Amino acid sequence: MEPLLKVTDLRVSFPGPSGPVHAVNGVGLELAAGRTLALLGESGSGKSVTAQAVMGILDVPPARVAGSVTLRGRELLTLSPRDRDRVSGEEIGMVFQDAMAALNPVFSVGDQITELLRVRRGMSRADARRRAVELLDRVRIPAPANRVKDYPHQFSGGMRQRVMIALAIALEPAVLIADEPTTALDVTVQAQVMELIAEIQRDSGMGLLLITHDLGVVAEVADDVAVMYAGRIVERGTVEQIFDGPAHPYTEGLLASMPRVDRTDEELYAIPGAPPNPARLPTGCPFHLRCHRVTPECRSDLPALEPLPAHRASACHHRTEVLHATQR
């Protein structure tokens, strides 16, 4: 069956002082209706740029975007700017990382939702206002008929994120992209926001692309996981496969660095080093400078994302050995 959203060989680069900066290098993703795909990786791995390229909100130029992004089989990258804007606004919604920066501070939240509905759906002012109150109620804003008149600064961080979700689902999109939706929120509010997104997804059947570096959130809500490093997908599988036995040393390191109540280690594990500069990627596997399983082949040859049993994949020369070792 054709996936709802399909990304093939997506490449994004930006001009730099010493040449192009390759932020995304051949990413491939598939998202089915009603499922949650988590795009996981450290800061700087290319997750947000991938999401912005899919959403169609990168400035081109200076960005250069190549590859394929299809929604229900329709190619998006070749659409005119006007048609792409229509698709991005109506069929793909996005919850941004920083709600305070994404919301307009000089308009009430009700005015912002109302304007969206009037422009995109042609609603009257009264009908759009009623719908805005319904949406705020849907995302559990207390006293929505009163809060619809308030401005973003009058809401707490968690409530602002709920307003962002209301804006993102106002046009009933087929795909929702959530880019680090729980950043800077406390643990209790994080759980509430993710529970709300999951509930809306169950009710609507939309596909959810979740951008995150939080392994706890991934374990709780994701169906499928794609692990990203240096602009590439290095491992792909179901959430159970990834957590039960990673097939890439980077994923192995991420899982080892996650705090666990059943561990008595005095120090929390950390992957040594830092992600490479996207303007000066090393030869061979981009992870080899930090990898404890490195061999000469890793330093010279770039591994492709190759299939493994049970419909998973890994971009590691030693993927089979890593998988066997982590499943013991």
Bridging pattern class, strands 224-229 and 312-314: unpaired
What residues contact residue 238 under an 8 Å CB cut-off, 6+ apart?
223, 224, 225, 312
Helix orientation angle between 319-326 and 249-256, rounded to the nearest 10 degrees = 30
DSSP SS3 for 302: coil
Q: State the pLDDT at residue 86.
A: 85
Its pTM stands at: 0.90
Q: Where are the domains of the chain?
A: 241-327
Q: State the pLDDT at residue 175.
A: 93
Q: State the pLDDT at residue 215.
A: 87
d(CA 312, CA 226): 10
CA torsion angle 221 325 248 183 (round to 10): 30
d(CA 303, CA 234): 9
Give me the DSSP letters along 84-152: HHHHHHHTEEEE-S-HHHHS-TTS-HHHHHHHHHHHHH---HHHHHHHHHHHHHHTT-SSHHHHTT--G
Bridging pattern class, strands 175-179 and 92-95: parallel
Residue listed under structure tokens 């998973």 = 312
Q: What are the per-10-residue average pLDDT scores of the chain (328 residues)?
A: 89 89 93 93 90 89 92 91 85 86 91 93 93 93 94 91 90 91 78 87 91 87 94 94 92 86 70 89 93 93 92 92 78
